[in-house]
Structure 1
Amino acid sequence: MSASQYRSQLKRKRKQRLDAQKKAGEYRSKETRKRSEVAKARSAASKAKSAMTARSKLREAERREKEAEQAGKDADRWQGKATDYAEQEADLQTKLDKAERAELDDAQRRRERETKQAERRRTAADRALHDRLEQTEAKVDWAMRDIRAPKTEKLRILLLGSSSERGERALRVGREQKRIRNAVESALLRDYVELDVRPAATTEDLLDGITKNRPHVVHFSGHSDDDLIEFEDETDDYHEGVVVTARAFASAVRATDDPPLLVLLNSCNSAAQIDRLVQEQIAPFAIGMADEIEDGDAITYAAQFYAAVANGQSIRSAHLSAQAALELAGLAGAELPTLAHADDVDPATAVLVKPAE
Structure 2
Amino acid sequence: MSTAIYRRQLEQRRKDLAGAQKKAGEFRKKESDKRTAANKAREAAGKKSGSMAASKQREASRHEAAATAASKSASTWDGKVARFLKEIGGLEAKLAKAEAAERAAADKVRQREQEQAERRAALAQQEIEGRLSTTEGQVSTMLEEIRAPRPEKLRILLLGASSEGDLRVGREQQRIRAAVQAATHRDLVELEVHPAATTAVFLDALPRFRPHVVHFSGHSAENLIAFEKDEDDFHESAIVNADAFARAIAAVDDKPLLVLLNSCDSAAQAMKLIDTVPFAIGMSDTIDDGDAVNYAARFYATVAEGQSVQAAHLFSQAAMEMNGLSGHDLPTLNCAPNVDPAVAKLVTPPPE
TM superposition score category, shorter chain reference: 0.5 to 0.7
- Partner Cα separation in structure 2 for residue 99 and residue 271 of structure 1: 7
1:120-143 deviation line (CA, Å, top 9, x unaligned): 99xxxxxxxxxxx99876787657
Q: Against the structure 1 CA distance between its residues 78 and 333, is the aligned structure 2 distance closer, same or farther, given a 3 Å change threshold?
A: farther
The corresponding residue for 1:48 is none
Output the amino acid matched with 2:324: G
Query: Any idea what SS the aligned residue of 1:180 has?
Result: helix
**Structure 1: which 5+ residue stretches go unaligned?**
1-12, 14-73, 122-132
Identity of aligned residues (%): 51
Residue 261 of structure 1: aligned partner: 257
Letter in 2 for 1:347: P
Out of 147, 150, 165, the position equivalent to 1:149 is 147
Shift of 1:204: 1.9
Largest Rg, 1 or 2: 2
Gap change, CA 1:328 and 1:202, over 3 Å in 2: same
Distance 2:157 2:133 in 1: 38
Answering whether residue 218 of structure 2 is matched by residue 219 of structure 1, we say no
Matches within 5 A, 1:344-355: 344-355=338-349
2:109–2:284 CA contact under 8 A, matched in 1: no
CA distance in 2, matches of 1:351, 1:199: 27
- Is contact 1:144-1:344 (8 Å) kept? no
**How do residues 112-123 of structure 1 correspond to structure 2 at under 5 angstroms?**
none
Q: 1:300 aligns with which of 288, 291, 294?
A: 294
SS at 1:318 equivalent: helix
Residue pairs, 1:1-357, within 5 angstroms: 87-91=97-101, 94=104, 146-147=142-143, 148-149=146-147, 152-163=151-162, 165=163, 170-233=166-229, 235-238=230-233, 239-278=235-274, 280=275, 282-357=276-351
Residue 87 to residue 141, structure 1, CA distance change in 2 (3 Å): same
Relative distance call for 1:87 and 1:348 in structure 2 (3 A) is same
Displacement after TM superposition at 1:327 (Å): 2.2
Structure 2 partner of 1:127 = none
Distance in 1 of aligned mates of 2:295 and 2:113: 30
Paired with 1:143 and 1:230, the residues of 2 have a C-alpha distance of 36
Given residue 157 of structure 2, which amino acid in structure 1 is its aligned partner? L
CA-CA distance at 1:343 after TM superposition? 1.2
Query: What CA RMSD, in Å, does the superposition of the two structures yield over aligned residues?
Result: 5.1
Shift of 1:332: 2.1
Aligned pairs, number: 323
Q: What secondary structure does 1:296 align onto?
A: helix
Separation in structure 1 between the aligned mates of residue 317 and residue 96 of structure 2, nearest angstrom: 28
Seen in structure 2, the aligned counterparts of structure 1 residues 142 and 304 have a Cα distance that, compared at 3 Å, is closer
Rounded Cα–Cα distance in structure 1 between residues aligned with 2:106 and 2:198: 34
- Offset, 1:203: 1.6
Is the CA contact 1:171–1:222 (under 8 Å) kept in the aligned structure 2?
A: yes
Q: 2:330 and 2:339 mapped to 1: Cα distance?
A: 22
TM-score, scaled to structure 1: 0.65
1: CA distance, partners of 2:113 / 2:323:
35
Aligned counterpart, 2:61: none
Is the alpha carbon distance of 1:84 and 1:152 closer, same or farther for their aligned partners in structure 2, counting shifts above 3 Å?
same
| Distance across 2 between alignment mates of 1:242 and 1:197 | 19
| 8 A contact 1:221–1:265 mirrored in 2 | yes
* 1:153-181 CA-partner distances (Å, limit 9, x unpaired): 11111111122x3xx65222111111111
For normalisation by structure 2, the TM-score amounts to 0.66
Residue 291 of structure 2: SS of its match in structure 1? helix
Structure 1 distance, partners of 2:306, 2:171, is: 24
